[in-house]
């Protein structure tokens, strides 16, 4: 029996602003089985990033709850790694030292941590760049460092908030292939927010579409394309069919 790695149950999120209360998520329930790669699509401002913050323990829900492997999330959770849209690397630290930042924050054996950091540097194909600084790396390389940093404590759940949005089209495709490879090796449960239909179909086992704010799930589609997927996969009829189904659902969810 496959365990649920990440669960949202009856989730409401309301922001209190100077202009009044703004509902961001309304009654959302979603269970993500262990090892699943699940993407979230939806219009801008619908609450996708809010879900990422709640899952990571960075934002408390107004009602309902989030749990990781049955443990309720009430604060930043050690079993959840997070990757933001921007790499948010410390410019004065090297690649290796940026990856080690979580260890310095939480404590731990330095020698073991440095060995783990070297393993992750090899995993994201940055061997030889350990002593480089962020400004010496391309955007795609910086995001690889951010992914390695999120994996430093080997969390079973990885949440990613549009991690490739700032990259050019070619680098974005390369990072899609790279993330698929990393997922196939580590088999993390991934919650991946994106605006790209093609990106969602290429990477995912399932894709959830959200309504305009406040976010509700309008559809949950399984992506049955065989793995590993290549750039040629994006030219196959089944890929186009899945993209079209999601595109129609996104248009359907828009207000008239």
Is residue 204 within 8 Å of residue 177, measured between CB atoms? no
pTM, to two decimals? 0.93
Is residue 58 within 8 Å of residue 225, measured between CB atoms? no
What integer best gives the mean pLDDT of the chain? Answer: 92
- Own/partner pairs, 88-94, CB within 8 angstroms, 24+ separation: 88/146, 89/134, 89/142, 89/145, 89/146, 90/134, 91/133, 91/134, 91/135, 92/133, 93/133, 93/134, 94/130, 94/131, 94/132, 94/133
Q: Of the ranges 47-51, 146-150, 249-253, which one carries the lowest mean pLDDT score? A: 249-253
Q: Residue 130 CA to chain centroid, in angstroms?
A: 24
Angle between helices 169-186 and 139-150 (to 10 degrees): 20
Among 154, 178, 201, identify where a domain stops. Answer: 154
Do 186 and 229 reside in the same domain of the chain? yes
Report the pLDDT value the prediction gives residue 108, as an integer from 0 to 100.
Answer: 67
- Give the count of beta carbons closer than 10 Å to the beta carbon of residue 175: 20
CATH number at residue 22: 3.40.50.300
- Token pair 């050690």 is at which residue? 78
Is residue 13 within 8 Å of residue 47, measured between CB atoms? yes
Do 52 and 74 reside in the same domain of the chain? yes
Number of folded domains in the chain? Answer: 2
Do 177 and 248 reside in the same domain of the chain? yes
Looking at the predicted structure, is the pLDDT value of residue 256 above 60?
no
Is residue 24 within 8 Å of residue 13, measured between CB atoms? yes
DSSP state of 134: G
Degrees (nearest 5) of the Cα angle 200, 83, 254? 40
Q: Give the pLDDT confidence of 174-233 residue by residue, as tens digits.
A: 999 999 999 999 899 999 999 999 999 999 999 999 999 999 999 999 999 999 999 999
Range of the domain at 108: 88-154
- What is the spatial distance between Cα 74 and Cα 100, in angstroms, rounded to a whole number? 25
């Amino acid at each position: 029996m496959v365990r649920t790695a990440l669960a949202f149950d009856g989730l409401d999120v309301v922001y209190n602003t100077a202009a009044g209360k703004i509902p961001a998520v309304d009654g959302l329930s979603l269970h993500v089985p262990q090892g699943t790669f699940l993407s979230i699509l939806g219009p801008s401002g619908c609450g996708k990033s809010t879900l990422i913050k709640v899952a990571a323990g960075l934002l408390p829900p107004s009602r309902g709850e989030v749990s990781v492997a049955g443990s309720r999330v009430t604060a930043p959770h050690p079993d959840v790694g997070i990757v933001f849209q921007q790499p948010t690397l410390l410019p004065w630290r090297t690649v290796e030292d940026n990856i080690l930042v979580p260890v310095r924050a939480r404590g731990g054996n330095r020698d073991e941590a440095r060995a783990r950091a070297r393993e992750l540097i090899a995993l994201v194909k940055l061997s030889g760049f350990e002593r480089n600084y962020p400004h010496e790396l391309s955007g795609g390389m910086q995001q690889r460092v951010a992914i390695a940093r999120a994996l430093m404590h080997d969390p079973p759940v990885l949440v990613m908030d549009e991690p490739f949005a700032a990259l050019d089209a070619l680098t974005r495709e390369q990072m899609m292939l790279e993330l698929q490879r990393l997922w196939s090796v580590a088999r993390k449960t991934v919650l991946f927010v994106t605006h790209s239909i093609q990106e969602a179909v290429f990477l995912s086992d399932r894709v959830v579409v959200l309504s305009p704010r406040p976010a509700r799930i309008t559809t949950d589609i399984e992506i049955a394309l065989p793995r590993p997927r290549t750039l040629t996969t994006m030219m196959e009829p089944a890929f186009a069919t899945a993209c079209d189904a999601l595109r129609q659902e996104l248009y359907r969810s828009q207000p008239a």
